[in-house]
Amino acid sequence: MNYESIILQVIEISRQVGQYLKSEQVKIESGIVEKKGQHDFVTYVDKTAEKQIVEQLQKLLPDAGFIAEENSVQREDKPLMWIIDPLDGTTNYIHGMSPFAISIGLMENNELVGGVVYEVGLEECFYAWKSSPAYLNGKEIKTSNTELLSESLIATGFPYYDYGRLEKFMKSLAYFVQNTHGIRRLGTAATDLVYVACGRIEAFYEYGLSPWDVAAGAFIVQQAGGRISDYKGGGNYLFGKEIIASNEKIYTDFQAKVEEYMSN
């Protein structure tokens, strides 16, 4: 399979759908926003964007299945699976803010083999395929060379439906606020992950996420030389609803601190 050719076509699909997202953002009104949960929103834009993506990907790989946030296509497990978030950062989007992103990952026999994250506001496309480097708009990217957790900038996301670990999470925030260069909360996990990949931030952690939030970004981090795991340092980050991403040099210290504060 020519992974490079596939991913380059996915980039074009992402850019096309990104233009749709951008054009519709100014039209969004509160009355057409649906609530999936207290802080979990969906609009006609999410649904339409996902249908556009699915239609194009079905033409690209007719035999592939889908794991998609808005369920515009029935999940059917196949050797090839697309993992799609048509609009990561919907809350930002409906408030007229950035960032918000399109995230498309490709999995083959349960192994991630490609990923595209298109951050629409800055028109930045991050991508990689199996055995390739990671790229941003055609230029190779790497995770940062920062060696100390104390000199690192950390990103996270706040839980929006699972508050069972909130107290532990707040204690972890207190530690990182006091012992790093600071905490950032962008509102889109896909963007957080690719910012680790290109070295803008050193590390990211969050719980309560779904596969479509992290698949593409996690793969891009790995191809950029970074580390991905669940909180305990294992590999259950795609479906395990918790993820750590960092550069190679601070990973051990970062993972240990996240596990210390967030372990059950």
> Do 99 and 209 belong to one domain?
no
Question: Does 60 share its domain with 133?
Answer: yes
β-strands 134-136, 124-129 pairing: antiparallel
Please indicate, yes or no, whether residues 129 and 30 belong to a single structural domain of this protein. Answer: yes
What local confidence, expressed as pLDDT, does residue 42 receive? 63
Q: What per-residue confidence (pLDDT) applies to 41? A: 53
On whether both 129 and 187 belong to a single domain, the answer is no
Q: Residue 116 sits in a domain of what CATH number? A: 3.30.540.10
Range of the domain at 188: 149-262
- Whether the Cβ atoms of residue 137 and residue 209 lie closer than 8 Å to each other: no
Q: State how many domains the chain has.
A: 2
What is the band of 69 on the pLDDT scale with cuts at 50, 70, 90? confident
d(CA 244, CA 184): 15
Same domain, 94 and 208: no
Q: What values do phi and psi take at 70, rounded to 5?
A: -90, 5
Domain boundary residue, one of 91, 117, 141: 141
Last residue of a domain, one of 141, 164, 185: 141
Summarised one tens digit per residue, pLDDT across range 12-22 is 999 999 999 99
Q: What is the pLDDT of residue 32?
A: 57
Structure confidence at residue 39 as a pLDDT band (50, 70, 90): very low
Same-domain pairing of 58 and 110: yes
Pick from 141, 163, 193: which residue ends a domain? 141
Q: What is the pTM of this model?
A: 0.94
- pLDDT at residue 75 greater than cutoff 90: no
122 in the same domain as 12: yes
Q: 126 and 217 share a domain? A: no
CATH label of the domain that carries residue 248 = 3.40.190.80
Which pLDDT band, with edges at 50, 70 and 90, does 76 fall under?
confident
Residues 7 and 134 in one domain: yes
Other CB atoms within 10 Å distance of the CB of residue 160 = 14
Check whether residue 133 and residue 163 sit in a common domain: no
Torsion angle of the four alpha carbons 221, 222, 224, 226, in this order, in degrees rounded to the nearest 10: 80
DSSP string, the chain: --HHHHHHHHHHHHHHHHHHHHHHHTT--GGGEEEEETTEEEEHHHHHHHHHHHHHHHHH-TT-EEEETT-SS-----SEEEEEEEEETHHHHHTT-S--EEEEEEEETTEEEEEEEEETTTTEEEEEETTS-EEETTEEE-------GGG-EEEE---SS--TTHHHHHHHHHHHHHHSSEEE--S-HHHHHHHHHTTSSSEEEEES--HHHHHHHHHHHHHTT-EEE-TTSSSTTSSSSEEEEE-TTTHHHHHHHHHHHH--
